[in-house]
Structure 1
Amino acid sequence: MGKQFDGLKTTHRRFIEDQKIFFVATAMNKGYINLSPKGMDAFRIIDPNTAIWLNLTGSGNETAGHLKFDKRMTVMFCAFEGKPIILRLYGEASVYHKRDAFWKDHIGLFPHIPGSRQLILLKINMVQTSCGMGVPLMDYKKERLLLESWAEDKGEEGIKDYWALKNTITLDGLPTDIFEDKQ
């Protein structure tokens, strides 16, 4: 049986900092549920009830589209090494773009990663841990640098062209507001 907490404890924070991957889930009342793996150095804990992650360019932009209409988000971490544990953060999230003051105030929390697309702020209202005994043990080898190389090769204008082609609407046809003039 899982244990629930009102916010992140020090042990939770240490666990999160040790993980190489996390998963983000969002959904609308109808349509497709989005569940995306995230990696790289893209997650920060601000305080026991606030986290922020750097959303990188991807083949879609479901999270931003969903959060425009329904702020619910779950972030999950699970141990593939060491003690088995699954940790979920439940809360409400907001999306910030390069054009927003929030971006300018918080992007310094992260290393420069080409293709950075949005900052997602999660206000955590519940933390849940469970055993994770069914999660396989796997060894971490290294980060894939393919996304960074791809984004560097495209350049800033090429990334914007890609966003226009692939990141302006969700699978269900919802707007993502990736460009200011789309609001």
Structure 2
Amino acid sequence: MAKQFPRIGLGHQNFIEAQQIFFVATAAPEGRVNLSPKGMDSLRVLGPNRIAWLNVTGSGNETAGHLKQSPRMTLMWCSFDATPMILRAYGTARTVQRDSADWAELADLFPGGPEKRQVYDLSVEMVQTSCGYAVPTADGMTERPVLKDWAADKGEDGIRAYWSERNRTTIDGAPTGIEDNL
């Protein structure tokens, strides 16, 4: 049975911080819904109603484009160990680009280098837990070094060129705002 809460409680935060993967969902008023898995050391619970997560350079930039049109965001974690649970945080988010006044403050919460693209600052309006009984267990999850190595090889200039080529628009053609950071 699903339960809803107005904030992230200590038990919720402990569960979130124990997970190695989370999922983010966003949608513009028109076009496709985006759902992406995220990992690495890229998420911080900043308070009972605030989460920040680091977005690293990738093949698309859907979240940024969607948030320019509609600030809705859902984050989801599910346990892959012996204790089943699913937790979702619903709210509104803003994109913090590298040229934003609070970029350094938020980006410095996370390790990494040139792969850092944006930080998303989520105001959590509701937390929901559900059983997770149908989620399979999985052993041996470990981080992949591929993205960090790829970004380090490209360097800052190479990353910006990649953003210019691949991250200016969503798959539906909406602007992502990355051009201000080129």
Q: TM-score, with normalisation over the residues of structure 2?
A: 0.97
Letter in 1 for 2:29: N
Farther off after superposition, 26-35 or 119-128: 26-35
In structure 1, the residue matched to 2:99 is 99
**Paired residues of 2:29 and 2:69 also in contact (CA < 8 A):** no
- State how 1:1-183 maps to structure 2 within 5 Å: 1-180=1-180
1:133-180 deviation per Cα after TM superposition (whole angstroms, max 9, x unaligned): 000000134210000011111111111111011100001110001021
1:25-75 deviation per Cα after TM superposition (whole angstroms, max 9, x unaligned): 000222111000000000000100000000000100000000011000000
**Paired residues of 2:24 and 2:73 also in contact (CA < 8 A):** yes
Offset of residue 117 of structure 1: 0.2
For 1:90 and 1:146, the matched residues in 2 are separated by 30
C-alpha spacing 1:160/1:92, structure 2 compared with 1 (3 Å): same
Farther off after superposition, 104-113 or 92-101: 104-113
For 1:76 and 1:113, the matched residues in 2 are separated by 26
For 1:37 and 1:181, the matched residues in 2 are separated by 24
Offset of residue 181 of structure 1: 7.5
- Stretches of structure 2 lacking an aligned partner (at least 5 in a row): none
Letter in 1 for 2:157: E
For 1:141 and 1:48, the matched residues in 2 are separated by 28
Farther off after superposition, 173-182 or 8-17: 173-182
Secondary structure in 2 aligned to 1:106?
helix
Offset of residue 100 of structure 1: 1.0
Letter in 2 for 1:132: G
Secondary structure in 2 aligned to 1:161?
helix
For 2:4 and 2:181, the matched residues in 1 are separated by 41
Letter in 2 for 1:168: R
CA RMSD of aligned residues (A): 1.2
Farther off after superposition, 17-26 or 138-147: 138-147
After TM superposition, what 4+ stretches of structure 1 lie above 3 angstroms from structure 2? none
- Stretches of structure 1 lacking an aligned partner (at least 5 in a row): none
Offset of residue 102 of structure 1: 1.1
Secondary structure in 1 aligned to 2:76?
strand
For 1:128 and 1:79, the matched residues in 2 are separated by 14
1:97-129 deviation per Cα after TM superposition (whole angstroms, max 9, x unaligned): 111111112222111244110000000000000
Letter in 1 for 2:32: Y
Secondary structure in 1 aligned to 2:102?
helix
